[in-house]
Amino acid sequence: MRSFYLMEVDMSNKLIKIGITQGDTNGVSYELIIKTFAAEEIFELCIPVLYGSSKVLAYHRKEMALPSLNINVISHADQAKTDYLNLVNCGCEEVTVDFGKATPESESAAVQSMQMAFDDLKAGMIDALVFAPSNVDERQFLSQQSGKMPMKTVIHNNLRIAFADQLTTDSLVCKIKDLHTSLIHDFAVTFPRIAVLSFNRGKGIKEREEGREEADIIIPAIKAACEKGIICVGPYAINNFFSDRDYMKFSAVLAITHHGQVLMPFRSISSGEGACYYAGIPFVATAPDYDAAHGNAGKNESSEAAFRNAFYLALDVFRTRKIDKEIHANPLKKHYFENGLDNEKLDLTKEY
């Protein structure tokens, strides 16, 4: 079953080309990839391009008795065909698979796959990128490649939680603005409503208590964002915000550090099917909210739901950005007539 809000209409009717990194060769990444593309209907939506190893894929499939796939081994992404999982061998053919162990070799193979995929993304040979699980920090990698630190946002259906790294008023105002922009242009939210979480547990609007960080930093940032026309409310105490389902009132949530405190309720709500989106960079990049899971490797026990949702999310965001760009490329001119006559004709070549 598809998650999120996948758009059915592509304005150009052109299949989107999605790049996929191979992740950790000793983890669950190939299992998730094989299970995802065993569903043939996914090929109606896009042209997938996996940057990995045909030998490693075959080994994972055989060891876990996973479904067979239509594989098209290619040298470059521009050779990709429809109705196939296209595979660009990225020099990892001699990698030894050792299920459940993180090794320098498996990490190197993951990085090599990420680099090749990103180079093609930057060159326009693929349209979006999905990271398969590995122990490599995808956000740091994207920052190094794009020159800007992306804003990590975890997503499940309409629950979106972005993370702020620095606890200063100016940085929080910037993050609120970035999140507001992303909601409009990446998710087609017309009038975004943003909730900001507190830094200290048990201190927020409902508790009527404020810690030093809330009073001195977070509340001034919220006020400054509101003065810029952004609908922004908070701070909400983490303790109650999710249990009281307050998140359902908002388009997105901004969390102030404490990733673990926020990810715990998110993963409970998403039931392990959440995805990550890296906002604020010129490229569309997503990942499942899932690590390499070495403990489950080689057992055929992992669900592909989070990876599949990350894949659909990449499609959604790419299409939304494309439509948004087309809408704003040629905006309608403003026209004004006062006491116009019935036979008066509108001249679209003139400014009024």
The span from the CA of 214 to the CA of 221, in Å, is 10
The pLDDT score that the predictor gives to residue 8 is 42
- Residue at 217 is within a domain: yes
Same domain, 207 and 317: no
- Residue at 74 is within a domain: yes
| CATH number (domain holding residue 137) | 3.40.718.10
This prediction's pTM: 0.88
- Residue at 345 is within a domain: no
The pLDDT score that the predictor gives to residue 291 is 81
Parent domain of 210: 155-272
Same domain, 1 and 129: yes
Query: Which two structure tokens, joined as six digits, stand for 61?
Result: 């499939």
How many other C-beta atoms lie within 10 A of the C-beta of residue 147?
9
Same domain, 262 and 314: no
Same domain, 83 and 169: no
Q: Which of 239, 255, 272 is the last residue of a domain?
A: 272
Same domain, 17 and 137: yes
- Residue at 341 is within a domain: no
Strand partners, 50: 20, 87
- Give all strands of the β-sheet with 85-89 in edge-to-edge order: 71-74, 85-89, 46-52, 16-21, 128-130, 285-288, 275-279, 151-156, 159-164, 252-256, 193-197, 231-236
Task: Report the chain's terminal Cα–Cα distance, integer Å.
Answer: 51
Q: Which of 228, 249, 272 is the last residue of a domain?
A: 272
Same domain, 142 and 176: no
- Residue at 78 is within a domain: yes
The pLDDT score that the predictor gives to residue 331 is 62
Same domain, 9 and 146: yes
Same domain, 126 and 144: yes
In the block, tokens 């392990």 appear at: 272
- Residue at 165 is within a domain: yes
Same domain, 193 and 304: no
The span from the CA of 263 to the CA of 257, in Å, is 11
Same domain, 266 and 292: no
> What are the average pLDDT values for consecutive 10-residue runs of the chain, which has 352 residues?
44 79 96 96 95 95 95 95 95 82 92 97 97 95 95 96 93 97 96 94 80 92 97 92 94 84 92 96 96 88 96 97 84 51 51 46
Same domain, 35 and 139: yes
- Residue at 16 is within a domain: yes
Say if CB 175 and CB 254 are below 8 A apart.
yes
Structural domains in the chain (count): 2
The span from the CA of 255 to the CA of 163, in Å, is 5
Nearest 5°: the CA angle 100, 104, 109 is 85
- Residue at 172 is within a domain: yes
- Going by the DSSP 8-state scheme, the letter that residue 249 receives in this structure is G
Q: Which of 272, 295, 320 is the last residue of a domain?
A: 272
Same domain, 139 and 185: no
